[in-house]
Structure 1
C-alpha cells in the first residue's frame, strides 16, 4: 500500500508538470503564472515550473531522503496555493476552495512520509 501511495503522489506531480505545464495542455496554468509573474516570460516560466514538478515526481519515486522530500512538497504546495489564492483566485479550478484540496494533499504526503512509512535512515 505504501508503494501505491508513493506512485500516486508522484503521478500528481508528473501530470501537473508534464501535461499541464510543459505540454501546456491546461492554459489556465500559464495564465496563473502570467498573473503572478507577468506575461512576458510566462510560457517559459510555466514550462520551467513544470520541469521542476517532473523532478519532484522523480524524487518521490527515488525514495532518496523521503522526509526531506515530503517537507519540500508540503512547502511548495502551501506556498503555491497561497500565492494563487491571493493573486489569481478567479483562475483556479475551484477558486479559493483549491486550498482545501491542497491541504488534503499535504496531509496525505505527511501521513505517507511520517506516519505510515517504514523507518528511514536520515
Structure 2
C-alpha cells in the first residue's frame, strides 16, 4: 500500500507540473498564475511552478526526509488552493469545490507519511 500511495502522489505532482504547467497543455493554469501574479510573466512563472512540482515528485519518490516532504506538500497544496479559491475561483476546474479535493489529497499525504501509527513503526 505504501508503494502504491508513493506512486500515486508522485504522479499527481508530475502530471500537474510537467503536463499542465511546463508543457502548458492546460492553458487554465497560465490564466490562474496571471490572475494571481500578474500577466507580464505568467507563462514563465507557470513553467517555473511546474518545475517546482516536478521537483516535488522527485522528492516524494526519493523517500528522503519523508516527513519534511509531506509537511511541505500539505503546506503548498493548502496555500496554493487557498490563493486560487480566493483570487481565481472562476478559473478552477471545479470552482471552490477544488478545496475539497485539495483537502482529500492532503489526507492521503498525511496517511502516507505522517500518521502516528506509521511514525511509531520507524
Tell me the residue number matched to 2:9. 9
Aligned counterparts of 2:90 and 2:118: Cα–Cα separation in 1: 37
Q: Give the 4+ runs in structure 1 shifted more than 2 A.
A: 115-120
In the aligned structure 1, how far is the partner of 2:51 from the partner of 2:27? 16
What is the alpha-carbon distance in structure 2 between the residues aligned to residue 78 and residue 37 of structure 1? 17
Q: Where does residue 44 of structure 1 map in the other structure?
A: 44
Matched, 1:94 2:94: yes
| Aligned residues: CA RMSD | 1.1
* Residue equivalent to 1:75: 75
Q: For residues 102 and 110 of structure 1, what CA distance do their matches in structure 2 show?
A: 12
Which residue in 2 is equivalent to 1:112?
112
- State the TM-score, normalized to the length of structure 2: 0.95
- 8 Å Cα contact 1:2/1:117 also seen in 2: no
Hey, what's the Cα distance between the residues in 1 that align with 2:36 and 2:42? 9
The count of aligned residue pairs is: 120
1:38 positional shift:
0.5
- Residue pair 1:16, 1:50 contacting (<8 A) in 2 also: yes
- The Cα of 1:117 is off from its aligned counterpart by 3.7
> How many angstroms apart in 2 are the aligned matches of 1:38 and 1:68?
31
Gaps of 5+ in 2: none
Q: Which runs of 5+ in 1 are unaligned?
A: none
SS at 2:17 equivalent: helix
Q: State the SS of the aligned residue for 1:64.
A: coil
